[in-house]
């Protein structure tokens, strides 16, 4: 009986090794292909290096690739509603998305700056300390004190256009953007002035 047990355990272990060896490994991102795809599909709105100069279009350079891949998949599936982006994302394969995302993450983000002197103190207070009486957490707790974010979890915000951040937060608050439950809860407790202030402050983070 003991020899049979040993034989079965050996066979199971061997099978596990073979299975792991046979498991497909994710292909290494092809940055050259990512650059080519980005140039053909995305650069017109987001600039050749991912540093959009148009306030309504987000800067994508140096963004965490996992976050970009997630957003592209959700544009493609319709979970994140945007007619323009859904159309572009529908043309991309999983490999295209990975290549583009990792290429963008390799590009340096250009710094931005806050423009509204009257609200910068309020924006900083919310970003670093939240709004205690409404249980709004500090933005820095997820997106880091300098806006670098946390890979695979929370996006980089530093230097992002204030107009874009403001639009997204209002969309979360009003239910237009549905692919971030945590941000929906946060934005729901903030008024227009607070959202505008923190968006402007984020633009100057570096």
Q: How confident is the model at residue 25 (pLDDT cuts 50, 70, 90)?
A: low
pLDDT tens profile 148-202: 999 989 999 999 999 999 999 999 999 999 999 999 999 999 999 999 999 999 9
What's phi and psi for 64, nearest 5 deg? Answer: -65, 130
Q: Would the CATH topology of 31-105 be identical to that of 120-203?
A: yes
What's phi and psi for 95, nearest 5 deg? Answer: -65, -40
Q: What CATH superfamily is the domain 31-105?
A: Cytochrome c-like domain (1.10.760.10)
Predicted TM-score (pTM) of this structure? 0.87
Q: For residues 99-126, give the mean pLDDT.
A: 97
Instruction: Give the residue, 9 or 168, on which the prediction is more confident.
Output: 168
What's phi and psi for 160, nearest 5 deg? Answer: -65, 145
The domain over range 120-203 is classified in CATH as 1.10.760.10: yes
The pLDDT score that the predictor gives to residue 27 is 77
What residues pair up with 131 in beta bridges, in sequence order?
136
> Residue 55: CB partners within 8 Å, gap ≥ 6?
161, 162, 163, 164
Residue 15, number of CB atoms within 10 A of its CB: 10
The pLDDT score that the predictor gives to residue 15 is 46
Question: Helix (H, G, I), strand (E, B), or coil: what is residue 68?
Answer: helix
From residue 160, alpha-carbon distances to 57, 58, 99 in Å are 10, 7, 22
Q: pLDDT at residue 21 above 70?
A: no
Question: Helix (H, G, I), strand (E, B), or coil: what is residue 153?
Answer: coil
Q: pLDDT at residue 41 above 90?
A: yes
Displacement of CA 110 from its chain's centroid (Å): 17
DSSP 149: -
Q: Which residue, 17, 199, 21, 2, is CA-closest to 112?
A: 199
The pLDDT score that the predictor gives to residue 161 is 98
- The rounded radius of gyration (Å) of the Cα atoms in the chain is 22
pLDDT tens profile 61-104: 999 999 999 999 999 999 999 999 999 999 999 999 999 999 99
Report whether 165 contacts 106 (CB < 8 A).
no
For the chain, domain boundaries: 31-105, 120-203
The pLDDT score that the predictor gives to residue 19 is 38
The share of the chain scoring above pLDDT 90, in percent, equals: 86
């Amino acid at each position: 009986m003991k020899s049979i047990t040993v034989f079965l355990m050996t066979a199971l272990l061997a099978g596990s090794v073979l299975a792991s060896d046979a498991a497909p490994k994710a292909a290494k991102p092809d940055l050259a292909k990512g650059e080519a795809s980005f140039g053909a599909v995305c650069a017109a709105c987001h600039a050749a290096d991912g540093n959009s100069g148009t306030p309504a279009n987000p800067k994508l350079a140096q963004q965490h690739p996992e976050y970009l891949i997630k957003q592209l998949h959700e544009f493609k599936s319709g979970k994140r509603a945007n007619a323009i982006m859904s159309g572009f994302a529908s043309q991309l394969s999983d490999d295209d998305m990975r290549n583009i995302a990792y290429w963008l993450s390799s590009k340096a983000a250009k710094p931005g700056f806050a423009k509204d002197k009257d609200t910068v103190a309020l924006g900083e207070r919310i970003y670093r300390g939240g709004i205690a009486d409404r249980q709004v957490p500090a933005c820095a707790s997820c997106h880091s004190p300098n806006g670098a974010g946390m890979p695979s979890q929370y996006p980089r915000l530093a230097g992002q256009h204030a107009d874009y951040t403001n639009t997204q937060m209002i969309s979360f608050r009003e239910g237009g953007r549905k692919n971030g439950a945590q941000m929906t809860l946060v934005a729901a407790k903030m008024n227009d002035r607070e959202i505008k202030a923190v968006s402007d402050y984020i633009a100057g983070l570096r």
